[in-house]
Amino acid sequence: MPDFPRKANFASDNVSGASPEIVAALIAAAEGGAMPYGADDWTARLEAKCAEIFETDVAVFPVVTGTAANALALAALTPPHGAIYCHPGSHAYADECGAPEFYSGGAKMVTVDGDNGKIAAGDLAAMLADARPHGVHNVRPAALTISQASEAGTVYSPDGLAALAEVAHGHGMGVHMDGARFANALVYQGLSPADATWRCGVYVLSFGATKNGALAAEAVIFFRPELAGEFGERRKRGGHLLSKQRFISAQLEAYLSGGLWLANARAANRAAARLAEGLAALDGARLVHPVEANEVFTALPEPVVEALEGNGFGFYRMGGGPDDGSDGGVVIRLVASFNTTDADVDAFLAAASA
């Protein structure tokens, strides 16, 4: 992996530091002792706060990575002989080295392609129409996982999500949301957390904070706590029950306090929108997906991309190449963070138009 200079790094929202409020919470939590494995005050407060924010009973399990959150959550929905339906570009399918297969005991991930990183309810329904023609010879559709925001930086509408969930439920499947960028999607939608999740049919959420200002903090949140019956064992067995769990819970508590999570997400989305606006106005640049959260996918001429790299800007090339509709350009991904500044954005745009 190239080692980019620190200036204007759009490689990912995980290249940023941490929010001062979250660091402060960590410092405070480090001062005294506490009972281990979640029997601490921070965790208790976090659980109460999640129930309040999501307006329903929830079971909350802090973990340290999105991969752990996704794989553990999917394993709670899927038997070893089950199938997990997902977008081929989803992180769980493409970028977790088979973690869902590992945690589920060998389930099959079945891909449902769709534009802009999203699955359409009709496509899912078509694939499920005859999913088990031979009974026990075929894996059983068990879970649908959708990413909100998607890997393409787009956001499902509540109607789109509800339609998907209805199809899934109709086939006896659970619905999981990979919310590594849940806050970014939420502020784009302007919905309440409840309206954006369980009221649309989501059973379990990977609630991410790491990409949005935490050091390492995610939570698996069950809106149907009865599905979490064996989750404690699964988490422990996966090595994801921290003895000093308060240090994750404290991060999450700070994240959810005073609207920090939403403020951070708004800042990131705003920076992405500024980037998108600038690129849209740029000759030779093209936006590949609608920019709805904090990610921008743009096609730029190869020489421009090389110059930006040479200049020390951080971002990833997305493979692809001419045949992905990029008109001979190179598709790159730019991710804005909670602490991306206007100056970062403007420096990038200036360099890109030079």
Does residue 251 contact residue 215 with C-beta atoms inside 8 Å?
Answer: yes
Quick one: which of 285, 284, 219, 293 has its CA closest to 256?
219
- Angle between helix axes 246-256 and 41-54 (nearest 10 degrees) is 40
Is residue 347 part of the contact set for a second copy (CB under 8 A)? Answer: no
Is residue 30 part of the contact set for a second copy (CB under 8 A)? Answer: yes
Q: How far is CA 185 from CA 159, 176, 207, 284, in A?
A: 14, 15, 12, 29
| Residue 299: other Cβ atoms inside 10 A | 23
Binding mask 201-220 for a second copy (x = CB under 8 A): ---------xx---xx----
And the tokens for 163? 């339609």
Query: Which listed residue (181, 199, 240, 333) binds a second copy by CB under 8 A?
Result: 240
Is residue 237 part of the contact set for a second copy (CB under 8 A)? Answer: yes
Count of residues engaged in binding a second copy, rule: CB under 8 A: 84
Quick one: which of 11, 151, 136 has its CA closest to 79?
136
And the tokens for 93? 């399918």
Considering only residues 70 to 89 of the shown chain, the ones binding a second copy according to CB under 8 A are: 71-72, 79-81
Considering only residues 138 to 157 of the shown chain, the ones binding a second copy according to CB under 8 A are: 138-140
Binding mask 157-196 for a second copy (x = CB under 8 A): ----------------------------------------
Query: Which listed residue (57, 98, 302, 303) binds a second copy by CB under 8 A?
Result: 98
Is residue 343 part of the contact set for a second copy (CB under 8 A)? Answer: no
Q: How far is the CB of 31 from a second copy (least distance, A)?
A: 6
The phi and psi torsions of 329 (rounded to 5 degrees) equal -80, 175
Q: How far is the CB of 29 from a second copy (least distance, A)?
A: 8
Nearer to a second copy, 193 or 218 (CB): 218
Nearer to a second copy, 5 or 258 (CB): 5
Is residue 247 part of the contact set for a second copy (CB under 8 A)? Answer: yes
Does residue 246 contact residue 42 with C-beta atoms inside 8 Å?
Answer: yes
Is residue 16 part of the contact set for a second copy (CB under 8 A)? Answer: yes
Nearer to a second copy, 133 or 190 (CB): 133
Is residue 327 part of the contact set for a second copy (CB under 8 A)? Answer: no
Is residue 232 part of the contact set for a second copy (CB under 8 A)? Answer: yes
Nearer to a second copy, 171 or 240 (CB): 240
And the tokens for 2? 């190239």
Q: Which residues contact 205 (CB under 8 A, 6 or more apart)?
A: 73, 176, 177, 179, 182, 197, 220, 221, 223
